[in-house]
């Protein structure tokens, strides 16, 4: 895969109002060139991964997002996802990347000011990633196989979790807030799998999607939100339900290619939209 640097449309080195008008039901929070993913919380701040492996760090100030700094992860190839780890009050951003030139994948961990803390070179090309604060494990999917792996944030080597039979292209991944299961999207099949972390068995949790591109749990810790890039919508399913044939569309207007979801202000969601070069806030 050819790697290309991308110059963002806006560096956003100033306070960006979070309530600028956008499409009905959406509020414009940020303008960022081709955002690939977003991670964070209103309390800790946010990291927006842009095309070209550029990461923008923002902190919430009076209901808006204030630019803090930017850093690049290009030395590890093309970055595909970002998550946030918080241990003992210390926050860090963790990214997945892959380099066809190096024939390797990478997991890289950065401090909020963009200093590289640690990098793991791995055999697979990682896709989606999430951090389980209870165990200290980072879970990630492999886009060049049907496999899920984990590694401990303090070091060690990746451990195989499971292989999902019948999967075609695993991507976005999120750990259940209980730490007992994880959810992973298959963008080619249009399904979301639930993986029981005790038995390491996978079942279909949601189907009849077009291209699930991001997963995130809501504030209630019971609702799973699913961004669908080709359907231009955000869907939701009750996590406790065994399988959902037709997920409910909770945001169905104004999005072009939603690529990431993070908890926003006052129970809302922050949604990165790759095609519109924007991050929106919307109430589900």
Return the HEC string of the chain: CCCCCCCCCCCCCCEECCCEECCCCCEEEEECCCEEEEEEECCCEEEEEECCCEEEEEEEECCEEEEEEEEECHHHCEEEEEEEEEECCEEEEEEEEEECCCCEEEEEEECCCCCEEEEEEECCCEEEEEEECCCCEEEEEECCCCEEEEEECCEEEEEEEEECCCCCCEEEEEECCCCCEEEEEECCCCEEEEEECCCCEEEEEECCCCCEEEEEECCCCCEEEEEECCCCEEEEEECCCCCECCCEEEECCCCCCEEEEEECHHHCEEEEECCCCEEEEECC
Q: Read off the pLDDT band of 19 (50, 70, 90).
A: very low
pLDDT higher than threshold 50 for residue 6: no
| Segment 264-273 mean pLDDT | 94
pLDDT for 90: 87
31 Cβ partners below 8 Å, 6+ apart? 9, 10, 12, 16, 277, 278
Confidence band (pLDDT; 50, 70, 90) for 186? Answer: very high
The predicted pLDDT at position 3 comes to 31
Q: How far apart are CA 55 and CA 110, in angstroms?
A: 10
Residue 23's pLDDT is 52
Is a pLDDT exceeding 80 seen at residue 242? Answer: no
Distance separating alpha carbons of residues 193 and 186, to the nearest angstrom: 8
Name, of 4-8, 178-182, 244-248, the range with top average pLDDT. 178-182
Q: What is the pLDDT of residue 156?
A: 83
Please give the C-alpha separations between residue 9 and each of 30, 37, 276, in angstroms, as whole numbers: 11, 16, 11
Mean pLDDT over the full length of the chain? 90
Instruction: Please say if the pLDDT value at position 1 is more than 80.
Output: no
Say which residue the tokens 């996802």 belong to: 81
Q: Is the pTM of this model over 0.85?
A: yes
16-282 CATH pick, 2.120.10.30, 3.30.420.10, 3.30.2320.20, 2.60.40.10? 2.120.10.30
pLDDT of residue 9: 33
pLDDT in tens, 89-119: 889 999 999 998 889 999 999 999 999 999 9
pLDDT digits (tens, 9 = 90+) for 194-222: 999 999 999 999 999 999 999 999 988 89
In this prediction, residues 1-13 reach a mean pLDDT of 33
Per-residue confidence at 24, pLDDT binned at 50, 70, 90? low
pLDDT of residue 51: 94
Closest CA to 264 of 80, 75, 117, 48: 48
């Amino acid at each position: 895969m050819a790697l290309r640097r991308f110059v963002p449309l806006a560096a956003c080195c100033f306070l960006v109002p979070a309530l600028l008008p956008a499409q009905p039901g959406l509020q414009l929070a940020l303008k960022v060139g081709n955002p690939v993913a977003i991670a964070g919380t209103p309390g800790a701040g946010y990291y927006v991964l842009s095309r070209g492996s550029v990461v923008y760090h923002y902190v919430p100030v009076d209901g808006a997002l204030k630019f803090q700094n930017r850093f690049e992860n290009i030395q590890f190839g093309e970055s595909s996802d970002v998550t946030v780890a918080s241990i003992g009050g210390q926050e860090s951003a963790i990214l997945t990347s892959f380099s066809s030139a190096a024939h390797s994948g990478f997991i890289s961990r950065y401090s909020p000011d963009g200093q590289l803390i640690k990098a793991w070179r791995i055999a697979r090309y990682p896709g989606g990633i999430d951090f389980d604060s209870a165990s200290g494990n980072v879970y990630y999917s492999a886009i060049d196989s049907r496999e899920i792996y984990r590694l401990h944030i303090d070091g060690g080597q990746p451990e195989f979790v499971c292989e999902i039979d019948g999967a075609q292209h695993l991507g976005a991944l999120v750990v259940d807030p209980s730490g007992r299961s994880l959810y992973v999207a298959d963008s080619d099949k249009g399904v979301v799998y639930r993986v029981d972390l005790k038995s390491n068995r996978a079942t279909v949790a949601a189907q009849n999607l077009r291209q699930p591109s991001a997963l995130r749990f809501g504030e209630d810790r019971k609702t799973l939100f699913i961004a669908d890039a080709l359907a231009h919508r955000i869907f939701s399913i009750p996590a406790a339900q065994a399988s959902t044939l037709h997920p409910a569309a909770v945001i169905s207007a104004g999005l072009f290619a939603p690529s990431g979801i993070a908890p926003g202000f006052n129970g809302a969601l922050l949604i990165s939209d790759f095609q519109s070069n924007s991050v929106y806030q919307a109430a589900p």
